[in-house]
Amino acid sequence: MSGLGKTYDFLGGEVLLFDKNLDWTSFDLVQRVRNTLCREMGIKKMKVGHAGTLDPLATGLMIICTGRATKLIESFQEKEKEYVATLKLGATTPSFDRETEEDNQTDASSVTRESFISVLQKFVGNIEQVPPLFSAVKVKGKRAFDYARNGEELKLQPKKIVIQKIDVESFELPYVTIRVVCSKGTYIRALARDIGEELGCGAYLTGLRRTRIGEFNVEEALSIDFFLKNLDSFVTN
């Protein structure tokens, strides 16, 4: 979906590209699209789903499928992803991002761009990654973040992932921005944790933006505000 200029068949099935707002959950976006379309089209329900969650503190590309196009969701989820992530070195948080307060600080002034790049290469390829406790991973019927927020002990098992590429976009201590191309199931927050542990100074995620899913790029995506303001151009009764 690139914008205006065509007729959309939402019940028949459409693949919509959105640039998710900061502080929105993935469910918020799906619910807003579903409710608005149902109200505009005068129907009670419609299948709407997303092809890959983004954390509330992340922005960027989300694929939203409607109607019969929801059958495509699994195939979209399997595609490689690209993210731009900003890490703060020399500190950690329990959630590995800004959702929780810093719980430890360490001097990271000895980390150079060269040593940082050297450490990054250890994470390229087929690796095992332990998901964050503050995640939607299901354990005994509950989400891991439910255990974490209740202060309960929980040990998550590592999962096999593939990181095809990591490039340094900027290096200005204590902040470093990287571009990551990876497989389904990769947690960039967990990658930040692991990079910090390998450096010996700790690190956590301060910003995350998904820029690509397979062949779909965030530059093609619409903002939810644009979609809602121009709804008459998308919906034909």
User: Which sequence positions are flagged as catalytic?
Assistant: 55
| Cβ atoms of residues 210 and 82 within 8 Å | yes
Q: What's the CA gap between 211 and 138, in Å, rounded?
A: 27
| Extended beta strands in 14-134, E state | 14-20, 48-50, 58-66, 81-89, 91-92, 104-105, 125-129
Indicate the DSSP class of residue 64.
E
What distance in Å separates the CA atoms of residue 104 and residue 5, rounded to the nearest whole number?
Answer: 52
User: 147 and 135 in contact (C-beta within 8 Å)?
Assistant: no
- Spatial separation of the C-alpha atoms in residues 3 and 227, rounded to whole Å: 9
Contact call for residues 79 and 72 (beta carbons, < 8 A): no
Dist CA 214 CA 82 (whole Å) = 8
String of DSSP letters for 121-164: GGGSEEEEEPPPSSS--EETTEEHHHHHHTT----PPPEEEEEE
